[in-house]
Protein backbone atom coordinates (compact mmCIF):
# COMPACT_ATOMS: atom_id res chain seq x y z
CA UNK A 1 0.00 0.00 0.00
CA UNK A 2 1.42 3.48 -0.84
CA UNK A 3 2.61 5.45 2.16
CA UNK A 4 0.17 8.37 1.61
CA UNK A 5 -2.85 6.04 1.35
CA UNK A 6 -1.76 4.05 4.39
CA UNK A 7 -1.23 7.24 6.40
CA UNK A 8 -4.74 8.55 5.67
CA UNK A 9 -6.36 5.18 6.27
CA UNK A 10 -5.40 4.91 9.94
CA UNK A 11 -4.65 7.49 12.61
CA UNK A 12 -1.15 6.91 14.06
CA UNK A 13 -2.50 7.33 17.59
CA UNK A 14 -4.87 4.39 17.02
CA UNK A 15 -2.23 2.01 15.63
CA UNK A 16 -1.33 -1.13 17.52
CA UNK A 17 2.28 -2.31 17.70
CA UNK A 18 2.29 -4.29 14.46
CA UNK A 19 0.52 -1.52 12.53
CA UNK A 20 3.01 1.05 13.79
CA UNK A 21 5.95 -1.13 12.76
CA UNK A 22 4.40 -1.58 9.31
CA UNK A 23 3.98 2.20 9.01
CA UNK A 24 7.58 2.84 10.08
CA UNK A 25 8.85 0.36 7.48
CA UNK A 26 6.85 2.12 4.76
CA UNK A 27 8.16 5.47 5.97
CA UNK A 28 11.76 4.23 6.05
CA UNK A 29 11.53 2.84 2.52
CA UNK A 30 9.81 5.88 1.06
CA UNK A 31 11.55 8.55 -1.00
CA UNK A 32 10.36 11.40 1.22
CA UNK A 33 13.08 10.97 3.89
CA UNK A 34 16.78 11.64 3.74
CA UNK A 35 19.39 9.10 4.84
CA UNK A 36 19.59 10.46 8.41
CA UNK A 37 15.91 9.86 9.15
CA UNK A 38 15.87 6.51 7.38
CA UNK A 39 18.74 5.40 9.63
CA UNK A 40 16.96 6.71 12.71
CA UNK A 41 13.81 4.75 11.86
CA UNK A 42 15.87 1.68 11.09
CA UNK A 43 17.46 1.95 14.54
CA UNK A 44 13.99 2.02 16.10
CA UNK A 45 12.99 -1.09 14.16
CA UNK A 46 16.17 -2.86 15.28
CA UNK A 47 15.63 -2.05 18.96
CA UNK A 48 12.00 -3.14 18.75
CA UNK A 49 12.97 -6.46 17.16
CA UNK A 50 15.61 -7.14 19.82
CA UNK A 51 13.14 -6.49 22.62
CA UNK A 52 10.55 -8.89 21.22
CA UNK A 53 12.53 -11.99 22.15
CA UNK A 54 14.70 -11.14 25.12
CA UNK A 55 14.19 -12.73 28.51
CA UNK A 56 16.76 -13.76 31.06
CA UNK A 57 17.34 -16.69 33.34
CA UNK A 58 16.95 -15.84 37.01
CA UNK A 59 20.46 -16.83 38.10
CA UNK A 60 19.62 -16.78 41.81
CA UNK A 61 16.65 -19.08 41.22
CA UNK A 62 18.88 -21.54 39.36
CA UNK A 63 21.55 -21.40 42.06
CA UNK A 64 19.02 -22.00 44.83
CA UNK A 65 17.53 -24.94 42.99
CA UNK A 66 20.92 -26.55 42.35
CA UNK A 67 21.99 -26.06 45.97
CA UNK A 68 18.81 -27.77 47.16
CA UNK A 69 19.70 -30.94 45.23
CA UNK A 70 22.01 -33.78 46.24
CA UNK A 71 25.59 -34.00 45.01
CA UNK A 72 24.61 -36.75 42.55
CA UNK A 73 22.62 -34.19 40.57
CA UNK A 74 24.16 -33.50 37.16
CA UNK A 75 24.19 -30.17 35.39
CA UNK A 76 24.17 -29.68 31.61
CA UNK A 77 24.67 -26.22 30.13
CA UNK A 78 24.14 -25.63 26.44
CA UNK A 79 22.92 -23.29 23.76
CA UNK A 80 21.58 -23.00 20.25
CA UNK A 81 21.14 -20.13 17.81
CA UNK A 82 19.01 -19.41 14.77
CA UNK A 83 19.53 -16.75 12.10
CA UNK A 84 16.60 -15.01 10.41
CA UNK A 85 15.64 -11.83 8.56
CA UNK A 86 13.34 -9.31 10.18
CA UNK A 87 12.54 -5.83 8.83
CA UNK A 88 15.29 -6.30 6.22
CA UNK A 89 17.92 -6.87 8.90
CA UNK A 90 19.57 -10.11 9.93
CA UNK A 91 19.18 -11.27 13.53
CA UNK A 92 20.06 -14.30 15.61
CA UNK A 93 18.10 -15.74 18.51
CA UNK A 94 20.43 -17.30 21.10
CA UNK A 95 18.73 -19.88 23.32
CA UNK A 96 20.62 -20.84 26.48
CA UNK A 97 19.63 -23.65 28.84
CA UNK A 98 20.61 -25.09 32.18
CA UNK A 99 19.38 -28.67 32.53
CA UNK A 100 19.41 -29.96 36.12
CA UNK A 101 19.23 -33.77 36.14
CA UNK A 102 18.01 -34.50 39.64
CA UNK A 103 20.18 -37.09 41.40
CA UNK A 104 21.40 -38.13 37.97
CA UNK A 105 18.53 -40.58 37.58
CA UNK A 106 15.24 -38.79 38.13
CA UNK A 107 13.57 -36.10 36.06
CA UNK A 108 15.10 -32.83 34.90
CA UNK A 109 14.29 -29.20 35.49
CA UNK A 110 15.16 -26.89 32.61
CA UNK A 111 15.93 -23.20 32.95
CA UNK A 112 16.28 -21.16 29.79
CA UNK A 113 16.41 -17.81 28.10
CA UNK A 114 16.42 -16.32 24.62
CA UNK A 115 18.55 -13.35 23.60
CA UNK A 116 18.01 -11.61 20.26
CA UNK A 117 20.87 -9.70 18.63
CA UNK A 118 21.89 -8.43 15.21
CA UNK A 119 23.85 -10.93 13.14
CA UNK A 120 26.65 -9.71 10.89
CA UNK A 121 27.90 -12.99 9.43
CA UNK A 122 28.74 -12.67 5.76
CA UNK A 123 28.83 -16.39 4.99
CA UNK A 124 25.54 -18.13 5.69
CA UNK A 125 27.07 -21.62 5.40
CA UNK A 126 29.96 -20.81 7.76
CA UNK A 127 28.47 -18.58 10.47
CA UNK A 128 31.69 -18.11 12.43
CA UNK A 129 30.67 -14.94 14.26
CA UNK A 130 27.26 -16.26 15.34
CA UNK A 131 28.62 -19.58 16.53
CA UNK A 132 31.40 -18.01 18.56
CA UNK A 133 28.91 -15.55 20.09
CA UNK A 134 26.83 -18.57 21.06
CA UNK A 135 29.88 -20.22 22.66
CA UNK A 136 30.77 -17.05 24.59
CA UNK A 137 27.24 -16.76 25.94
CA UNK A 138 27.36 -20.37 27.14
CA UNK A 139 30.68 -19.72 28.90
CA UNK A 140 29.26 -16.57 30.49
CA UNK A 141 26.29 -18.54 31.82
CA UNK A 142 28.62 -21.21 33.22
CA UNK A 143 30.71 -18.59 35.03
CA UNK A 144 27.62 -16.97 36.56
CA UNK A 145 26.76 -20.34 38.13
CA UNK A 146 30.35 -21.25 38.96
CA UNK A 147 30.12 -21.08 42.75
CA UNK A 148 27.35 -23.73 42.91
CA UNK A 149 28.90 -26.06 40.33
CA UNK A 150 31.88 -27.14 42.42
CA UNK A 151 31.94 -30.82 43.42
CA UNK A 152 29.21 -31.58 40.88
CA UNK A 153 29.28 -33.29 37.50
CA UNK A 154 28.89 -30.52 34.96
CA UNK A 155 28.87 -30.79 31.18
CA UNK A 156 28.97 -27.99 28.60
CA UNK A 157 27.23 -28.83 25.33
CA UNK A 158 27.93 -27.00 22.08
CA UNK A 159 25.68 -27.08 19.02
CA UNK A 160 28.71 -27.60 16.79
CA UNK A 161 29.46 -30.55 14.55
CA UNK A 162 33.16 -31.50 14.19
CA UNK A 163 32.42 -33.19 10.86
CA UNK A 164 33.85 -30.98 8.09
CA UNK A 165 30.82 -31.57 5.89
CA UNK A 166 28.85 -29.29 8.26
CA UNK A 167 29.32 -25.53 8.32
CA UNK A 168 29.58 -25.32 12.11
CA UNK A 169 32.88 -27.22 11.97
CA UNK A 170 34.54 -23.94 10.95
CA UNK A 171 34.83 -22.95 14.64
CA UNK A 172 35.35 -26.32 16.32
CA UNK A 173 38.92 -25.63 17.48
CA UNK A 174 38.23 -22.08 18.66
CA UNK A 175 35.00 -23.09 20.41
CA UNK A 176 36.48 -26.05 22.29
CA UNK A 177 39.54 -24.02 23.23
CA UNK A 178 37.43 -21.11 24.47
CA UNK A 179 35.34 -23.31 26.78
CA UNK A 180 38.42 -25.10 28.09
CA UNK A 181 40.12 -21.79 28.83
CA UNK A 182 37.13 -20.00 30.36
CA UNK A 183 35.36 -22.84 32.17
CA UNK A 184 38.11 -25.43 32.68
CA UNK A 185 35.76 -27.99 31.14
CA UNK A 186 36.09 -30.00 27.93
CA UNK A 187 32.81 -29.43 26.07
CA UNK A 188 30.78 -32.04 24.27
CA UNK A 189 29.83 -31.39 20.65
CA UNK A 190 27.35 -33.03 18.30
CA UNK A 191 26.07 -35.70 18.38
CA UNK A 192 26.61 -35.94 22.17
CA UNK A 193 25.53 -32.36 22.93
CA UNK A 194 21.87 -33.04 23.69
CA UNK A 195 21.43 -29.96 25.92
CA UNK A 196 22.25 -27.82 22.87
CA UNK A 197 20.79 -29.86 20.02
CA UNK A 198 17.56 -30.89 21.74
CA UNK A 199 16.89 -29.02 24.99
CA UNK A 200 17.75 -25.52 23.73
CA UNK A 201 16.14 -26.07 20.34
CA UNK A 202 12.93 -27.43 21.88
CA UNK A 203 12.82 -24.73 24.55
CA UNK A 204 12.67 -21.96 21.96
CA UNK A 205 9.62 -23.51 20.32
CA UNK A 206 7.91 -23.87 23.72
CA UNK A 207 8.67 -20.26 24.70
CA UNK A 208 7.43 -19.00 21.32
CA UNK A 209 4.21 -20.97 21.76
CA UNK A 210 3.66 -19.63 25.28
CA UNK A 211 4.27 -16.08 24.11
CA UNK A 212 1.82 -16.44 21.23
CA UNK A 213 -0.82 -17.89 23.56
CA UNK A 214 -0.42 -15.15 26.18
Q: Do residues 108 and 155 lie in contact, with contact meaning Cβ atoms separated by under 8 Å?
A: no
Q: What does the alpha-carbon distance between residue 2 and residue 5 come to, in Å, rounded to a whole number?
A: 5
Per-residue pLDDT tens, the chain, 214 aa: give them: 444 444 444 455 555 556 666 666 676 676 666 777 777 777 766 666 555 555 689 999 999 999 999 999 999 999 999 898 877 788 898 999 999 999 999 999 999 998 888 898 888 788 999 999 999 999 999 999 999 999 999 999 999 999 999 999 999 999 999 999 999 999 999 999 999 988 887 877 676 655 555 4
| H-run or E-run covering 157 | strand 153-157
Q: Where are the domains of the chain?
A: 3-50, 54-213
Q: What does the alpha-carbon distance between residue 133 and residue 137 come to, in Å, rounded to a whole number?
A: 6
Residues forming beta bridges with residue 74, ordered by sequence position? 101, 153
Predicted pLDDT of residue 3: 44
Amino acid sequence: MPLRLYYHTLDIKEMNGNELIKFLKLLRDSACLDRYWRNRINDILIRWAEQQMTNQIDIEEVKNFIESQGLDTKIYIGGDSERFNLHDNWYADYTLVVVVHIDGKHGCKVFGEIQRERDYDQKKNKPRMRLMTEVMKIAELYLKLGDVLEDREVQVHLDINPDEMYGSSCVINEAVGYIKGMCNVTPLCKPQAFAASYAADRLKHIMNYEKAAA
